[in-house]
């Protein structure tokens, strides 16, 4: 059974009552597991200092020259597109800052790597894009990662 199915089994249905038993750490772990099961090397809860402040990214997955920076939002409802848009904008900024931070620290090959921001939610909805940043419901995360190449032209990358 893959990580997506395990979390969906835990949740039962994606309603408020079903989600209360899943903590944010579990949610982040399940998102990381989806990336791992698709060949990514994964680090969780990355803290770093950007130009003017500290930043945190929930999950970072690297595969060849691709780095996916995931913000896990345990939202089940509410907020709509404005909430998703704000999360996408924030994740875009964190992703830019992470690549800059890595370049400044001289991590080899960073310039050849593409960094992609991604927001994952628990809401049962369609995949949406906000200025090239995908907002993906957890139930569709595995298929999104498997089909990543088909989305790549639409995605913001740094």
Summarised one tens digit per residue, pLDDT across range 100-112 is 887 655 444 566 7
Closest CA to 120 of 108, 130, 134: 134
How much is the average pLDDT of 25-32?
Answer: 90
Strand ranges of the sheet holding 54-63, from the earlier edge strand across to the other edge: 41-49, 54-63, 66-73, 114-121, 133-137, 128-130
In a domain, 84, yes or no: no
Token pair in block for residue 134: 């995908």
In a domain, 83, yes or no: no
The pLDDT, as a whole number, for residue 156 is 97
How much is the average pLDDT of 1-8?
Answer: 48
| pTM of the full structure | 0.83
Q: Are 71 and 57 in contact (CB under 8 A)?
A: yes
Query: Integer distance in angstroms from the first to the last C-alpha of the chain?
Result: 34
What is the chain's mean pLDDT, rounded? Answer: 83
What is the per-residue pLDDT across 114-134, written as a single tens digit (0 to 9) for each? 999 999 998 888 999 999 999
Distance CA 112, CA 100 (A): 13
- What CATH number is associated with residue 106? 3.40.1350.10
Give burial (CB, 10 Å; 0-12/13-18/19+) of 7: buried
What is the per-residue pLDDT across 40-80, written as a single tens digit (0 to 9) for each? 999 998 888 877 899 999 999 999 889 999 999 987 666 67
Structural domain that includes position 133: 3-76+89-154
Q: Which helix (H) or strand (E) holds 15?
A: none
In a domain, 37, yes or no: yes
Sequence-distant (6+) residues with CB within 8 A of 4 are 30, 34, 138, 139, 141, 142
Distance CA 58, CA 74 (A): 12
In a domain, 58, yes or no: yes
Please give the tally of structural domains in the chain. 1
In a domain, 51, yes or no: yes
């Amino acid at each position: 059974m893959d990580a997506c199915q395990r979390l969906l089994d835990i949740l039962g249905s994606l309603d408020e009552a079903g989600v209360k038993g899943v903590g944010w750490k579990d949610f982040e772990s399940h998102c990381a597991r989806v990336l791992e099961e698709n060949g990514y090397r994964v680090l969780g809860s990355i803290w770093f200092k950007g130009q003017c402040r500290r930043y945190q990214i929930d999950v970072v997955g690297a595969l060849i020259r691709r780095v996916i920076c995931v913000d896990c939002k345990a939202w089940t409802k509410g907020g709509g597109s404005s909430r998703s848009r704000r999360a996408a904008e924030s994740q875009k900024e964190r992703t830019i800052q992470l690549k800059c931070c890595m370049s400044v620290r001289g991590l080899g090959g960073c310039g050849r790597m593409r960094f992609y921001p991604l927001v994952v939610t628990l809401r049962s909805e369609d995949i949406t894009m906000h200025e090239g940043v995908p907002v993906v419901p957890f139930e569709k995360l595995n298929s999104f990662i498997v089909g990543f190449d088909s989305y790549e032209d639409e995605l913001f990358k740094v």
